[in-house]
Amino acid sequence: MPDFPPDFLPQNFLDSHFLNPDRSNLEDIRKLGYAFVDLIVDSVLDTQNQAFVQDESSFKINIPEHGDKLADLLAEVRSQVLPRTVNFQNPRYMGHMDSVPTAITIWADALISAINNNMLSYELAPVFTEMEAQLMQWFGNLFGMGTDCFGTLTAGGSLANISGLLLARNWKQPQSKTVGEANNLVAFVSDAAHTSFEKAMNVIGVGKENLVRVLTNDRGEIILEELELEIQKAIRQGKQPFFVAAIAGTTVTGAVDAIQAVGEIAKRYDCWFHIDAAYGGAGIFSPKLQPLFQGCELADSITFNPQKWLWVARTCAMLIVKDKQHLVDGFDGELPYMDDRTLNFGNLNLQGTRRTDSLKLWMALKAMGISGCRYLVERSLDLSDNLRQWVEASPELELVCEPTLNIICLKSNNPNLSSTFLRQQWIDAGKLWLSLPLWKGDRILKAVVLHPYAG
């Protein structure tokens, strides 16, 4: 370890990093905050006309022996880091399910860091424990999950799906939680479902080979007859079906499975019914899309990511369960070093220490209101319809399938112009940044129309 530099003064060092109880550096800390505000507004938000990525060269971390001056550090971030970021502020960026966060959630995220409470337990985050609990019930009610619903925020939809599968395993074979043996279990999702289901099967010890991927139609919706045939086949092979998922907003085409019908099949075969609405869940705010969510009350668990189609700065995702007891039974770890008379989210979660993302989500909902959420969701549907019309009017382009949400899949219909080539041409010209997913064996172009000024 290096020696301290000759001019190192502990008090100066401490004053750079913490508020002094004598308040002598209060204004310096405030100025640092204002410098961040300027950096964020001028060099992050006010870049809508700038390139998708300005600098693709690699970056070196260069940890110094002696700490940098904070002003120099901010300057380095501005000149070396920001040009290498992906510019989601550009309204022509439509590649993936990554939104520009609403302004309130950007600043709320800093507030969360400043407060730094810990969702591990009530005594480390009393108000946020209440806030998260009430928000989970609020979202559960929004999806029609009944009076015993509950849930937890998670660091993403993958973790929510993994948690859902864990609860399902413990419900079907309670011994698997204690002695670790899950026997013969088999789960069913569509071939358009997210890869986190494979991850989950690995994590819960049932294994990826016991995840059956059911065929979908050309829009990406699960084929109900195929689902039932696959379940029956598994039973004939001596396996025990335990989990069926419907996807509300598939990752490539944004398709929504027939939730009610999938739920009824799940129940007929005594399976846990999960809905992965990580992306599409925000559709519940739009009366136009609400019919797609019919049957949510059948769900034992739902994944939903406000960090995607609700414009909340990451991370913000959740797992909601119909019956709180499943969440309690699923984990029921002990927190011997905590007051255990109260609700401790650390007992209801794969994570221990967790950020208080509830503050950001609550502030977002308070600031926009339910009508504001509906407006933004429907606006993105309208903007995606503009894109759809542009594709239909372009002689060299065609839709891959009929869109369901604000996701448009398209391809070139000119054999001399591959989708890969077209994509690069558009990116180089600064015209559009689309992604290039593999869909039913072909590379296609995908636009997720999330930017409120997209176009």
Ligand X SMILES: *Cc1c(COP(=O)(O)O)cnc(C)c1O
Say if CB 112 and CB 359 are below 8 A apart: yes
C-alpha torsion sign, points 428, 394, 380, 317? negative
191 burial (CB, 10 Å; 0-12 / 13-18 / 19+) is: middle
Amino acid at 230: E
Say if CB 98 and CB 251 are below 8 A apart: no
Say if CB 315 and CB 105 are below 8 A apart: no
157 touches ligand X (CB under 6 A): yes
Interacting positions 160-189 with ligand X (CB under 6 A):
161
357 touches ligand X (CB under 6 A): no
Minimum CB separation of residue 301 from ligand X in Å reads 13
3-class secondary structure, 243: strand
**CB-wise, 194 or 388, nearer to ligand X?**
194
256 touches ligand X (CB under 6 A): no
**Interface with ligand X (CB under 6 A), residue from 194, 322, 374, 423:** 194
| The token pair that represents 410 in the structure block | 């398209």
**Interface with ligand X (CB under 6 A), residue from 90, 163, 190, 196:** 196
276 touches ligand X (CB under 6 A): yes
By CB under 6 A, which span of 75-83, 218-226, 237-245, 275-283 interacts with ligand X?
A: 275-283
**CB-wise, 278 or 410, nearer to ligand X?**
278
Minimum CB separation of residue 401 from ligand X in Å reads 17
Minimum CB separation of residue 126 from ligand X in Å reads 27
3-class secondary structure, 159: helix
102 touches ligand X (CB under 6 A): no
By CB under 6 A, which span of 15-23, 135-143, 244-252, 437-445 interacts with ligand X?
A: 244-252
Q: Across 76-170, where does the E strand assignment appear?
A: 150-154
Minimum CB separation of residue 53 from ligand X in Å reads 20
Q: Across 114-232, where does the E strand assignment appear?
A: 150-154, 185-190, 211-214
Interacting positions 55-84 with ligand X (CB under 6 A):
none
279 touches ligand X (CB under 6 A): yes
Minimum CB separation of residue 157 from ligand X in Å reads 3
Kindly give, in sequence order, each residue whose CB lies less than 8 Å from that of residue 64, ignoring residues fewer than 6 positions away. Answer: none
**CB-wise, 262 or 422, nearer to ligand X?**
262
437 touches ligand X (CB under 6 A): no
254 touches ligand X (CB under 6 A): no
Minimum CB separation of residue 410 from ligand X in Å reads 19
Say if CB 321 and CB 150 are below 8 A apart: yes
Q: Are strands 438-439 and 301-304 parallel, antiparallel or unpaired?
A: unpaired
- Give how far Cα 374 sits from Cα of 167, 276, 286, 365, Å: 32, 20, 5, 11
Q: In whole angstroms, give the CA distance from residue 253 to residue 217.
A: 11
**Interface with ligand X (CB under 6 A), residue from 153, 247, 284, 434:** 247
**CB-wise, 241 or 249, nearer to ligand X?**
249
97 touches ligand X (CB under 6 A): yes
305 touches ligand X (CB under 6 A): yes
Nearest alpha-carbon partner for 346 in 337, 325, 177, 170 = 337
| Region for residue 360 given its phi and psi (left: phi exceeds 0; alpha: psi -120 to 50; beta: otherwise) | alpha
* Closest-approach residue to ligand X (CB): 157
By CB under 6 A, which span of 153-161, 357-365, 426-434, 446-454 interacts with ligand X?
A: 153-161
By CB under 6 A, which span of 118-126, 200-208, 271-279, 355-363 interacts with ligand X?
A: 271-279
Minimum CB separation of residue 329 from ligand X in Å reads 24
**Interface with ligand X (CB under 6 A), residue from 317, 363, 377, 445:** 317
Rg (the chain; Cα; Å): 24
Q: In whole angstroms, give the CA distance from residue 318 to residue 278.
A: 8
Q: In whole angstroms, give the CA distance from residue 324 to residue 61.
A: 45
156 touches ligand X (CB under 6 A): yes
Residue 274 CB coordination number (10 Å): 30
**CB-wise, 194 or 451, nearer to ligand X?**
194
Q: In whole angstroms, give the CA distance from residue 416 to residue 404.
A: 29
Say if CB 90 and CB 433 are below 8 A apart: yes
Minimum CB separation of residue 278 from ligand X in Å reads 4
By CB under 6 A, which span of 57-65, 233-241, 274-282, 344-352 interacts with ligand X?
A: 274-282
- Residues engaged in binding ligand X (CB under 6 A): 97, 156-158, 161, 194, 196, 247, 249, 251, 276, 278-279, 305, 317
